Amino acid sequence: MALRLPPFQPLPPPPSDSQLLEIALSALRPTQMCVGMAEIRSRQIDFAKDSPQERRRYLRQKPTPLVRSQAGDLWMVDRHHRLRGLMEEDPGATAFGYVALDLPFRDPQQVLEDLRQRGWLYLFDGRGLGPFPPSALPEKLTDTQDDPYRSLVWKLKRERVIAAAPLIPFHEFRWGAWLRSRTLPPFSSERLQPALASARTLARSRGASHLAGWLGTPVA
């Protein structure tokens, strides 16, 4: 299974700290339909351990790239897992972001069509079905669906079975789509363990070598 994603334009890097915006998480609209809830829960636990000062310092270091419409509406084009984890812990939280793109449209559907053409939308659902039209995207971050394969890939990244590829949009979903095309034992975002051994073997195999972040089998 290959994701039929369009070519993408790279996101501009964050500006200086003085140019960051502090925004309410509830004001941000997602640009993907699903997330991996295992990662959300892990980030929620991490945020719960931080003091308010530690949390603000961390969020300043990880600003969210934003797209702003002429009406002032904001779409987040990264950081969905991090910020949903924070929102689950503190629904009234704020984060820091920067305007990666200003668009001269007031109509949200025009904004989303522009983003689709830039390769800045993920329009597949939690079962890997799609692509759906941009209008199918949830309006709230907390309404994103769970994709257990995205959770599985997050776990493989944490174990250093797969390397990060931050310049490739939806890198983890590409891996998830490939694993979906293989046979794995039944699992869920709450119970990844049944599929982990098989997923590790598959992710290290030559069959996955075309995917960015492939590391192969560790040298003994």
pLDDT in tens, the chain (220 residues): 556 666 788 888 888 877 899 999 999 999 999 999 999 999 999 999 999 999 999 999 999 999 999 999 999 999 999 999 999 999 999 999 999 999 999 999 999 999 999 999 999 999 999 999 999 999 999 999 999 999 999 999 999 999 998 878 899 999 999 999 999 999 999 999 999 999 999 999 999 999 999 999 886 6
Please list the residues that pair with 101 across neighbouring strands.
67
23: closest CA among 98, 88, 81, 84? Answer: 98
∠ CA 95-97-101, rounded to 5°:
150
The dihedrals phi and psi of 166, each to the nearest 5 degrees, come to -65, -20
* Strand, helix or coil for residue 21: strand
Question: Letter for the amino acid at 167?
Answer: L
User: Which domains does the chain show, CATH number per domain?
Assistant: 20-141 (3.90.1530.10), 147-208 (1.10.8.10)
Q: Report the predicted TM-score, pTM, of the whole model to 2 decimal places.
A: 0.93
pLDDT at 68: 97
Q: According to the model, what pLDDT value does residue 167 have?
A: 78
pLDDT value for 112: 97
H or E stretch covering 65: strand 64-68
Please state at what angle helix 148-158 crosses helix 171-180, rounded to 10 degrees: 110
Kindly report the number of other CB atoms within 10 A of residue 186's CB atom.
Answer: 8
Edge-first strand listing for the sheet containing 74-76: 21-24, 94-102, 64-68, 74-76, 28-29
Please report where in the chains the tokens 């098989």 appear, as a residue: 198
pLDDT of residue 220: 61
pLDDT of residue 4: 67
Structure tokens of 202?
């598959």
